[in-house]
Amino acid sequence: MRYFLTFLLCLIFHFGHAQDMPLKTLMAYINKPVTVIRDSLYARGWAAHAELSGTQKNQLYQTFSYGTKKSNPAEALAWFRIHADNNIVNQLYYQLPGLESYTIILNELKVISTEKKGVQTIENNQISSYYQTTDYTFQTIAGRGSYTLMVMTNKK
């Protein structure tokens, strides 16, 4: 019985938190080959969506989802989208699973000493804020129960 409970707790921890990615991981995905990021996401339990992915000349975008919501099994818990030029990721969007994860990301942005830009936009009942470091630009998008972080390289 004790082994079963231990296994169950490990399973819940693994699948309950696999979609939560720290800012450090997201930043590490930038400037990496698409195959490395794709393999990492698959290993974490994410599923690719070919219908929301594509290529055009040397540009690629690929969309992934994680899990399903108990309240609506047709909805994913989290979404992830990578953008790449010449198969090197230069931008990503991470729709976080909820407010708690979003708050953690905001705190991580403060820890890495980002400069919050004065530009803030409100469109379609969503608020976008921008943060910057020497190497990265971040955009947070919050509204209507959705929380998204965009990470983009500043290096060309």
Domain-wise residue ranges, the chain: 2-153
Helix H or strand E segment including 128: strand 126-132
For residue 4, the model assigns a pLDDT of 36
For residue 156, the model assigns a pLDDT of 66
pLDDT digits over 94-132, tens only? 999 899 999 999 999 999 988 888 767 787 888 999 999
pLDDT digits over 32-87, tens only? 999 999 999 999 999 999 999 999 999 999 999 999 888 888 788 999 999 999 99
**8 or 63: whose pLDDT is higher?**
63
CA distance 40 to 35: 8
For residue 3, the model assigns a pLDDT of 38
Asked if residues 27 and 136 have their Cβ atoms less than 8 Å apart, the reply is: yes
For residue 137, the model assigns a pLDDT of 94
Asked if residues 118 and 131 have their Cβ atoms less than 8 Å apart, the reply is: no
For residue 25, the model assigns a pLDDT of 95
> Length of the chain in residues, anyone?
156
Q: How many Cα atoms sit within 13 Å of 79 on the Cβ side?
A: 15
Asked if residues 112 and 133 have their Cβ atoms less than 8 Å apart, the reply is: yes
pLDDT category at 153 given cuts 50, 70, 90 is: very high
